[in-house]
Amino acid sequence: MIFFVRHGQTAGNRDGRLQGHVDTQLTDAGHEQARRLAEGLRAVPVLRVVTSPLRRAAETAAAIGRLHGLDVEVDDRLVELHYGEWDQRRFQEISAQEWGAWRADPKFAPPGGESLVDVTARVADFCDQHVTDEIVVAVSHVSPIKAAMCLALGVDERASWRMHLDLASITRVGRRADGALYLASFNETAHLL
């Protein structure tokens, strides 16, 4: 089973900016979220910790790896959707027409960026490799985790626009005996209370 973990807070999250491939670090609040997340996973028999190459994910993964005595592996398939020219823009700076085009078509990509379909393809490849009976923690970002959820439910990427994923949350994806993925949980945050 994969425990998909969204990274802790960054200044970009706090300020309502699209971060994409911008390599930001955790805020003090983000480090506290990562600490609580690691504590929340203390009793879980984690075999591996894998992270996106971006610093905000790697810092979150490091807290989990330390608690479990595991080295953290980097996997580029877990990186956030590339927003291209939209990186660092505030959500309200994206026009209603651009948002509408993006939400209507999973193949739409921001200028110089990638589409939700592209993200789903790399996340599907990651899941094919890592969804087993053993527990792998995969620290990633909102778009790849929502892609994993869509894969598990067998729905199109447009469903991702109808869900909210908190910072430092856990979403669990497993595989049935027939090979199909399933969603075991979504947006767990009790460890942050």
Active site positions, annotated: 7, 80
Structure tokens at 161: 């626009």
Phi and psi at residue 60, to the nearest 5°: -65, -45
Based on its alpha-carbon atoms, the radius of gyration of the chain, rounded to whole angstroms, reads 16
Structure tokens at 58: 């790697």
In order, the DSSP letters of 39-81 are HHTTTS-EEEEEE-SSHHHHHHHHHHHHHHT-PEEE-GGGSPP
Q: Extract long-range pairs of 131-134: CB within 8 Å, 24+ residues apart.
A: 131/1, 131/2, 131/173, 131/174, 131/175, 131/181, 132/1, 132/175, 133/1, 134/1, 134/47, 134/48
